Structure 1
Amino acid sequence: MPRFTPTRIAGAAAVLVSIPLAVSPPVAASAVEPDYTITAGPQPTGATIPKSMYGVFFEDINYAADGGLYAELVRNRSFEFNGTDAAGWNGLTGWTVAGPAAVTNDDQRLNERNRNYLTVSGAATLTNAGFPSPSTGSAIAVKKGDRYVFSVWARAQATLTIEMHTADGAALSAPLTIATRTDTWSKYTGTLTATATSDAARLSVKTSGAVKLDEISLFPRDTYKGRANGLRKDLAQKVADLKPGFVRFPGGCLVNTGSMYAYDAANNYPRARSYQWKDTVGPVETRATNKNFWGYNQTYGLGYYEYFQFSEDIGAMPLPVLPALVTGCGQNRATVDEALLQRHIQDALDLIEYANGPVTSTWGKLRAQSGHPKPFGMTTIAVGNEENLPNEYWANFLKFESAIKAKYPDITVVSNSGPDDTGATFDNLWAKNREHGSDMVDEHYYNSPSWFLQNNARYDSYDRNGPKVFLGEYASLDNKLFNSLAEAAYMTGLERNADVVKMASYAPLLAHVDNVQWKPDMIWFDNDESWGSTSYQVQKLFMNNVGDRVVPTSVSGAVVQPKPITGAIGLSTWRTAAVYDDVKVTRPDGTVLYSDDFTDGNADGWTAVQPRGTWTVTNGGYAQTTTDTEDTMVKAATIGESDYDYTLKATKTAGAEGFLVAFGIQETGQFYWWNLGGWNNTQGAVEKGVTSAKEQILTKPNTVTTGKTYDLKIQVRGTKVTLFLDGVEWGGFDDNQVTEPFAQVVTEDTKSGELIVKVVNAQDTPAVTKVDLGNRKVARTGRLTVITGDPGEQNTRSAEPILPRTSTVSGLGSSFTREFPANSVSFLRIKTR
């Protein structure tokens, strides 16, 4: 993990928050020369900060919905899983069946969207172990004394005996008996009370004879706000405790990926199709299930009604995202079916009616039938997510926007700028949005901590009269405190530019610790516990202390100058087999610093960064031979000089992509790599990363031909890198940005009558800081909240060492000096007089 220490500040050890926080007394201005000075300008206030400034982004990734926020405890309750969802899955995945039973799909089904059901032809026992937890095994978590609502749809006359028990059969509830009565589908319910606490429970249903069963469900009665078909209480409460201004849902990549079909019999009820909100409303048993983009099944039990209801319950603005019929997230396809596009545009209009229409309207009536006759009052809607086909996306966006504005002129329609913070797609879409005068543009980026510390001023230069910014997805690329400090420093820049940046949401929101498709994440959980990451604690501190207006300030003090790119060299592949040869590192004058042509038959100088793939020396080359493995990096030869040339030959032998040639590899895990033939052999890039997470420095179209040998050269001159492909300059960059480990913003909370001084010190030394509030009259005491600790620390299931600590401090005034701890976020609330 990189640490930043300005040369004029002496080193000091970080303080862990797991011990009582020692709050520093004020420092006399004459005693110590301040490292930094914060000066408030003469203007009384700056930009207004909207209530929607910070929100949350929910996507069903990392089992965030089923098995997560959605409180259903039974996995595959309607027997709809199949091999489309994941290899080897079927209608009984998640179930153990003892006795004569089979998954059936015929005209006796429950309804046209719920196509499978279980036919039991005699006495049988069905057991469900809940959602998977590879570290502990699949399990249902129950708590002694809590009640659980069981329900089932059944057809035929039979007796069902339902109970909760451990894996070895020990009872965890008294049995519940239900008699089914008729040969038409009917719903039956009952309640089970847990007689003991267990995180390894099972649910069993015993049948006395032949019966048809579907939608076997078990819900805790104690859901968030007591909602039926509701949310897991601890997870929902953690989100509510953030006090978010908005909820962006339901994604994310799952919104606009998959097949672009209508949901009708002519298409045989296709799976793996793009998210469509009409699949997710109405009675739960009539909702579709679908292949999740992230590799599992999604039931849509948590659907649009529940998203709207949850947003209302926590006082947040609902912000749905609709597919623009242009896929993103590496798929890069656009519809050519105009009728299908028009149907989706009509779906967008129908959604607004569903959210806001009267009960006499078609979709307002459905909302009322679900239990909410009052409109939800939706004001904002987004079209599309991270499309990397800017022209196709823009053509479709204009059609959506035109139709929405014609019928609902007051609705804010959010466009987007593609999948990254820079590049050709970003520039193209921003140019189109500016010229068009779009309401708002959604930006997404996941970058290294250094990027966030180098780009605090990103929005200072944005056009104040142009489209507003919605930072819909962002995070630093890990879950350690240092990542959160970098994010906090960046957030001061978001607030300072509140006249441009109107909304921002860290992403993703939730992750099941044993089912992770993406990291970092804000809130982590298993089947019965949850905990906030260090970023959760930082986000909560900001979101609970936003303020109403910005107080204009300036800051002076040390910054960190860029360092030359040094470190180990590396080779890697991504779902590709390749051979590398004639690896050499030389000084500009040709002096050899490292060389390996593998003619000796070994690769003794190379070590695995991660033990992935199969590397062997074959026929005088270094070959990686698997085609199903991602990120197989090996490294060698740590280069300490600032100017050098790294050359090699590369040949793709099989697989989906091309080459990954790394340099500047640090022990902290930071590195650069030249990615040729990436994104399914469509694009080249230079990426800067920490471990497995990367930010793109430059991108351009690129394809690698199987069997062709390429000559590659990476020329490093300090912070400047130039890349040559077969002797021709391919691209380059200069990583020469200044790092600002100290950041600040001051806001005013007019309701409480307080100034909020927010200081981030993302370095290993304390920062003695003079704060000059001009002629503003303030109290002599204030309330100080600090998050600090070892920058490499993180919160886990077993311990949460990084938590905020609050104390009362004295010695304040219109001008005062304080020492802010190393590696800290400090919020000081001071009453105005």
Structure 2
Amino acid sequence: MSKVGRLSVSLEHRGAKLGDLFGIFFEDLNHAADGGLYGELVRNRSFEFDRIDNSSYHALTAWEKIERGGGQAQVSIQTEAPLNTKNPHYAVIEIVAEGDGVGLMNYGYNTGISLKQGEQYLFSMYAKREDSKSEAEAVSIAVENPDGVVLAEASIAVSGNEWTRYEAILTAKSTDHSGRLILLTKGTGSLALDHVSLFPKETFKQRSNGMRQDIASMLQELKPKFMRFPGGCLVHDGSLNADDRNSMYRWKNTIGPVHDRPARRSNWGYNQTLGLGYYEYFVLSEDIGAKPIPVLPAGYDPHHKRIVPIEELGPWIDDALDLIEFANGSIETTWGAKRAELGHPEPFGMEYIAIGNEEVGEPFFERYTYFHNAIKARYPEMKIINSSGPFPAGGEYERGWASAREHRSDYVDEHYYVSPEWMLANIHRYASFSADDPKVFLGEYASWGNTYYNALAEAAYMTGLQNNAHAVGLACYAPLLCNVDYVNWRPDLIWFNNHQVFGTPNYYVQQLFMHHQGDYLLEMKAEGLSQPITVNEAPITGMLALGANPDTAEFWDIQLENNITGEIIKLDYATAQGSETYRNLRELGKTDWDHYTISFKARRLEGEKGFELSFGDRGNGNRYLWEIGGWQNQDSALVSFVNGRGSCLTQSLFTVETDVVYQFSLEVTGRQLKAYINGELINAEEDKPLVIEPLYYTASYEEASGDIIVKAVNVQNQSLEIAFDVSDRSIGSVEVYELCGCQLEDENDFAAPTRVSPKQKLYHVEHNAAESFTYMIQPHSITVLRLKDEYEAIKKAYQN
């Protein structure tokens, strides 16, 4: 049964300029770069994998010795005479008996090296020979499948005892996705190898050292306004010494010849070759039509409390200033000349720079001041992005906003990963934000999941982002990419293996909003829609439980007090042992009181974190959690779980110490929460009730086309007949882009990559309704309507 309503829009009522509102964020996790977007097919090409990257790694990870037809060899990793000191390891194959050949095999990523019949692949390596009795010996290069069938092959003659670069072109004889790169040699003496590389010739935009065609095309097809890079936590997690293997991400290490770039530990548990470096990020941004937004560290590692002294910040600030010159400087400048030397004499036109990522703690904000002042002094037009931590509210969030207001930062970077229900409950989050404050850069956000239901909730939330463009300037879903065989984090926008890629339902929502963003917000008025439906305004009641996280602790003086009647219930608890995989919560009993306080004393006996109080547990993954000494023992946080999916409501800094007695109390008043430690209020927040609106909508005007763009999201299971009124335009036709007809649990996959994807059609408007028309909004749908001007349509038809 349909519901009739009316939406009115006028070109006269223009609101905020939408600018660069919707973009993307690239972070190298989930093997997004190496083994993903970056085109290199050889894994561990420079023999630099190390335990510092991952406890299972060694210099020959992904490599295996090959001995054929009686051949015998010894393979070792050496550092005595390297190709360069930044990548000191190289492989030496000592030929004991040549037989039919000895050498090395590389497994590549996923199921192996993917080749497509008829396509060409560019092989290169650095090699040298020692103690060979002949002037030159052939090295055969082949890609074989696991059964030994040759898929492509070539041969190179290697001579001399100095490092020399060799190249060959391999043409695939057939299509196979399980290839192994085979390097075989004969003769005497030894063969040394380094930086062994295999690239598809057909990279995105035919770039040397380029990107994988299919993945990069998916990024381009989004039409993002900007690209934030390279992270993420990997930006600021590491040592302070730029030359250390596990240093913070330092952009100057990532440019220049790829074989000279130092290997780097990624804090996501693997190795980064840095083949995809800052120059490549800038070029990729340009190639997909996105403005670059680089993120730089500020000399503070909140993960390990590494802090650059203020008096030693100079080189870090210089890195930021030099990066701006690298991106925008003329070729007469030092770093502009370096950019030109790399192949791009024209400036990249960078407009934004972010200092820090998800920062918490006073050390960052103290150092941010120096970066902000130095950048604004030299580049006053540069838009600087401050940080407000990884939570949507609380002490560190407010500290970030206070810093941004004090320094008049251009943007504040907000991050949160939440349940779909949190998004629907917080659609109007930014309505009360002041247009005079720094603008919001929602630099990372997503709901937990890649189903159609998640996509619907995110689409509804994005209408709220656009409708509050007075406060929200930039927004990007995260994470962007995930290799299905190397998952660090989920959900993700785009999934891939070594030869396939698909976009999630979330991807197609982002695409709809990016393709149809518009330039100016238009005011819309609604009439005749039904009232919003409040789903869960009930007070927070249910089971209580207490435990260690994941430590050994003791608890006592546990009591539950009814704040209306004064009734007190004493609760008993024995010492609990937690574990890394299971939070050992012990049930204390249920309460159905609307206004109560649970209090207890606790002491950590062993471990590195703290305590957990679970409350309001109604079963089926619906509960609340007070984490005390949470993430790396730095947080006190209140978290809401809906169907097992968590949303941090608020966070403040707090660290639990061993053998210290703490007094904790949590006051629950309806849906209002207040948490106290030793009598001091540390967290306070309301869990907003879930309210389902009859329709989520937003409208904008696009200058290039002259179109009025209406986006409407219906999360309910009933259709809505909507009359659209445009008071100052004669509508000729309406282009419709519609995502509908899907089950809420539907997902895309390799077998059905577009199971959930939008359809396009042309909707004809009756002539006698030129300034209005009626359209049926489908149940559980996302609809984009492009309202075309009648006279423009006639003029184009006449011209054709």
TM interval, short-chain normalised: 0.7 to 0.9
User: For residues 783 and 729 of structure 1, do their structure 2 counterparts lie closer, same or farther at Cα, with a shift above 3 Å needed?
Assistant: closer
Q: How does 1:513-524 map to 2 (within 5 A)?
A: 513-524=484-495
| Per-residue deviation, residues 661-719 of structure 1 (Å, max 9, x unmatched) | 22344566443201112123332111123567533223234344546787766554532
Within the candidate set 160, 167, 172, 1:194 is matched to 172
Paired letter, 2:162: T
Distance 1:780 1:185 in 2: 66
- 1:19 paired residue number: none
1:382 and 2:339 equivalent?
Answer: no
Q: What is the DSSP-based 3-state SS (H/G/I as helix, E as strand, rest coil) of the residue aligned with 1:763?
A: coil
User: For residues 82 and 189 of structure 1, do their structure 2 counterparts lie closer, same or farther at Cα, with a shift above 3 Å needed?
Assistant: same
Paired letter, 1:171: V
- 1:808 paired residue number: 762
CA contact (8 A) 2:412 2:440 kept: yes
How far off is 1:646 after superposition? 6.4
How far off is 1:469 after superposition? 2.5
How far off is 1:355 after superposition? 1.8
Paired letter, 1:828: L
Distance 1:337 1:119 in 2: 46
Paired letter, 1:179: A
- 1:576 paired residue number: 551
- 1:55 paired residue number: 23
1:205 and 2:183 equivalent?
Answer: yes
Distance 1:274 1:701 in 2: 23
1:163 and 2:142 equivalent?
Answer: yes
Q: What is the DSSP-based 3-state SS (H/G/I as helix, E as strand, rest coil) of the residue aligned with 1:320?
A: strand
- 2:321 paired residue number: 349
CA contact (8 A) 2:82 2:90 kept: yes
- 2:295 paired residue number: 321
1:393 and 2:345 equivalent?
Answer: no
Paired letter, 2:781: S
Q: What is the DSSP-based 3-state SS (H/G/I as helix, E as strand, rest coil) of the residue aligned with 2:625?
A: strand
How far off is 1:306 after superposition? 0.7
Within the candidate set 434, 441, 452, 2:412 is matched to 441
User: For residues 429 and 709 of structure 1, do their structure 2 counterparts lie closer, same or farther at Cα, with a shift above 3 Å needed?
Assistant: closer
1:65 and 2:41 equivalent?
Answer: no
Q: What is the DSSP-based 3-state SS (H/G/I as helix, E as strand, rest coil) of the residue aligned with 1:310?
A: helix
Distance 1:691 1:94 in 2: 40
Q: What is the DSSP-based 3-state SS (H/G/I as helix, E as strand, rest coil) of the residue aligned with 1:68?
A: helix
User: For residues 582 and 168 of structure 1, do their structure 2 counterparts lie closer, same or farther at Cα, with a shift above 3 Å needed?
Assistant: farther
User: Per chain length, whose mean CA-contact separation is higher, i.e. which structure has more relative contact order (CA < 8 Å, sep 6+)?
Assistant: 1
User: For residues 67 and 693 of structure 1, do their structure 2 counterparts lie closer, same or farther at Cα, with a shift above 3 Å needed?
Assistant: farther
How far off is 1:291 after superposition? 0.5
- 2:69 paired residue number: none
| Per-residue deviation, residues 769-803 of structure 1 (Å, max 9, x unmatched) | 34333343323654342345222222223334211
Distance 2:417 2:771 in 1: 38
- 1:241 paired residue number: 221
How far off is 1:161 after superposition? 1.1
User: For residues 774 and 332 of structure 1, do their structure 2 counterparts lie closer, same or farther at Cα, with a shift above 3 Å needed?
Assistant: farther
Within the candidate set 612, 619, 625, 1:673 is matched to 625
Within the candidate set 532, 548, 556, 1:559 is matched to 532
User: For residues 654 and 758 of structure 1, do their structure 2 counterparts lie closer, same or farther at Cα, with a shift above 3 Å needed?
Assistant: same
Q: Quick check: 738-747 or 711-720, which moved more?
A: 711-720
CA contact (8 A) 1:786 1:806 kept: no
Distance 1:193 1:634 in 2: 63
| Per-residue deviation, residues 11-40 of structure 1 (Å, max 9, x unmatched) | xxxxxxxxxxxxxxxxxxxxx763x54333
CA contact (8 A) 2:426 2:688 kept: no
CA contact (8 A) 1:755 1:830 kept: yes
- 1:794 paired residue number: 747
- 1:129 paired residue number: 107
| Per-residue deviation, residues 532-587 of structure 1 (Å, max 9, x unmatched) | 11110100011011112211113464223342235555556544345679999898
Within the candidate set 714, 720, 726, 2:672 is matched to 720
1:88 and 2:41 equivalent?
Answer: no
Q: How does 1:401-420 map to 2 (within 5 A)?
A: 401-420=372-391
User: For residues 501 and 703 of structure 1, do their structure 2 counterparts lie closer, same or farther at Cα, with a shift above 3 Å needed?
Assistant: closer
CA contact (8 A) 1:415 1:441 kept: yes
- 2:798 paired residue number: none
Distance 1:257 1:354 in 2: 24
CA contact (8 A) 2:79 2:89 kept: yes
How far off is 1:724 after superposition? 6.3
CA contact (8 A) 1:579 1:624 kept: no
User: For residues 206 and 481 of structure 1, do their structure 2 counterparts lie closer, same or farther at Cα, with a shift above 3 Å needed?
Assistant: same
Q: What is the DSSP-based 3-state SS (H/G/I as helix, E as strand, rest coil) of the residue aligned with 1:831?
A: strand
- 1:38 paired residue number: 7
User: For residues 158 and 405 of structure 1, do their structure 2 counterparts lie closer, same or farther at Cα, with a shift above 3 Å needed?
Assistant: farther
Aligned residues, how many?
762
Q: What is the DSSP-based 3-state SS (H/G/I as helix, E as strand, rest coil) of the residue aligned with 1:403?
A: helix
- 1:765 paired residue number: 718
- 1:629 paired residue number: 581
Distance 1:462 1:652 in 2: 41
CA contact (8 A) 2:422 2:690 kept: no
Distance 2:347 2:51 in 1: 39
Distance 2:733 2:494 in 1: 37
| Per-residue deviation, residues 155-198 of structure 1 (Å, max 9, x unmatched) | 1254211111122322222x311111221111101122222222
How far off is 1:286 after superposition? 0.5
How far off is 1:819 after superposition? 3.4
User: For residues 554 and 326 of structure 1, do their structure 2 counterparts lie closer, same or farther at Cα, with a shift above 3 Å needed?
Assistant: farther
| Root-mean-square deviation (Å) | 3.1
How far off is 1:408 after superposition? 2.7
How far off is 1:273 after superposition? 0.9
Within the candidate set 254, 263, 267, 1:280 is matched to 254
CA contact (8 A) 2:353 2:382 kept: yes
- 1:452 paired residue number: 423
1:477 and 2:457 equivalent?
Answer: no
Q: What is the DSSP-based 3-state SS (H/G/I as helix, E as strand, rest coil) of the residue aligned with 2:724?
A: strand
CA contact (8 A) 2:735 2:786 kept: yes
1:76 and 2:44 equivalent?
Answer: yes
Paired letter, 2:191: V
Within the candidate set 254, 261, 268, 1:294 is matched to 268
Paired letter, 2:365: W
Distance 2:749 2:595 in 1: 41
User: For residues 184 and 421 of structure 1, do their structure 2 counterparts lie closer, same or farther at Cα, with a shift above 3 Å needed?
Assistant: same
| Per-residue deviation, residues 304-325 of structure 1 (Å, max 9, x unmatched) | 1111111111111111111111
Paired letter, 2:718: T
Paired letter, 1:832: D
Higher share of residues assigned strand = 2
Q: What is the DSSP-based 3-state SS (H/G/I as helix, E as strand, rest coil) of the residue aligned with 1:461?
A: coil
Distance 2:676 2:746 in 1: 40
How far off is 1:515 after superposition? 1.4
Percent identity reads 38
- 1:147 paired residue number: 120
Consecutive unaligned residues in structure 2, runs of 5 or more:
67-72, 130-135, 791-800
CA contact (8 A) 1:332 1:388 kept: no
Within the candidate set 211, 232, 241, 1:231 is matched to 211
Distance 1:441 1:148 in 2: 44
User: For residues 448 and 593 of structure 1, do their structure 2 counterparts lie closer, same or farther at Cα, with a shift above 3 Å needed?
Assistant: farther
How far off is 1:427 after superposition? 1.6
- Scaled by the length of structure 1, the TM-score of the pair is 0.85
- 1:336 paired residue number: 309
Paired letter, 1:364: G
Within the candidate set 303, 306, 317, 2:280 is matched to 306
User: For residues 160 and 508 of structure 1, do their structure 2 counterparts lie closer, same or farther at Cα, with a shift above 3 Å needed?
Assistant: same
How far off is 1:237 after superposition? 0.4
- 2:797 paired residue number: none
Distance 2:397 2:699 in 1: 31
How far off is 1:621 after superposition? 4.0
Q: Quick check: 704-713 or 527-536, which moved more?
A: 704-713
User: For residues 770 and 632 of structure 1, do their structure 2 counterparts lie closer, same or farther at Cα, with a shift above 3 Å needed?
Assistant: farther
How far off is 1:240 after superposition? 0.4
- 2:509 paired residue number: 538
Paired letter, 1:90: H
